[in-house]
Homo-oligomer: A and B are copies of this chain.
Amino acid sequence: MKHFQEELEDLKNLLLQMGGLVESAIYRSVAAVVEKDTDQAKLVLENEARINQTEIVIDELATRLLALQQPMATDLRFITAAIKINNDLERMGDLAVNIAERALSLLHEPAIRPCIDIPQMATLAKSMVRRSLDAFVRGDAELARSVLLSDDAVDDLRDSTYEALIQFMEKDPENVRPGVNLMFVARSLERLADHATNIAEDVLFLVQGVDVRHHAETRP
């Protein structure tokens, strides 16, 4: 039977593996929208099952570790954080699928200019995902805090994207369908950033024992 600390290490590695799958799904789904790349969109849809399977494996391991052992406070915090981060990553996988599906719908629509803000939102959201996972691996509170700060920037980009898309749709009825698709892409990117923020908050709780949820005033 494996030693408890080894199993905790397994749990961490599984989460990183899940994080890698999700990051790659996000990269591909955004490339599918921006470069109208069908293959990338299809890869995202094909890999969804693997992400979902990994989620279940992680959940089972975490639950087993809680059941078999009486973890110390630090380990317990790590395991409960793992359960939450796992849940966020699975949702992020779903959002990448949503984006890939929109990319496939957009193939039949003319390319549109307000797409310009979407790559910028995507770059920021992807960076937040990467930083939140790095912060988790390294237990880096500073890096986790930087994710919280980026969340407002994503919200601002989303607002300007929505406004640009609405004006674009008002200009010509033909723009309505592509506009709606891009609106949902922007919405999914914003949600991805929210999940990265959740992970960063879990990392802060893990590292510092401080619950920063719903307390904007405690953010730097």
Contact = CB atoms under 8 A, between A and B. Distances in A.
Given A67-B76, A80-B66, A176-B169, A56 B214 contact: yes
Interface residues of A: mostly helix, strand, loop or mixed?
helix
Interface in A125-150: none
A170 B77 CA distance: 52
Contacts of A187: 184, 187
A214 B80 CA distance: 22
A34 interface: no
**Most B Cβ at <10 Å: residue of A55, A59, A171, A214:** A214
Contact of A170 (B76, B80, B87, B176): B176
Interface in A57-72: 59-60, 63, 66-67, 70-71
A177 B214 CA distance: 30
**Most B Cβ at <10 Å: residue of A53, A166, A176:** A176
Interface in A169-195: 169-171, 173, 176-177, 180, 183-184, 187
A170 B36 CA distance: 24
Contacts of A214: 49, 52-53, 55-56
Interface of A: 49, 52-53, 55-56, 59-60, 63, 66-67, 70-71, 73, 76-77, 80, 83-84, 87, 162, 166, 169-171, 173, 176-177, 180, 183-184, 187, 211, 213-214
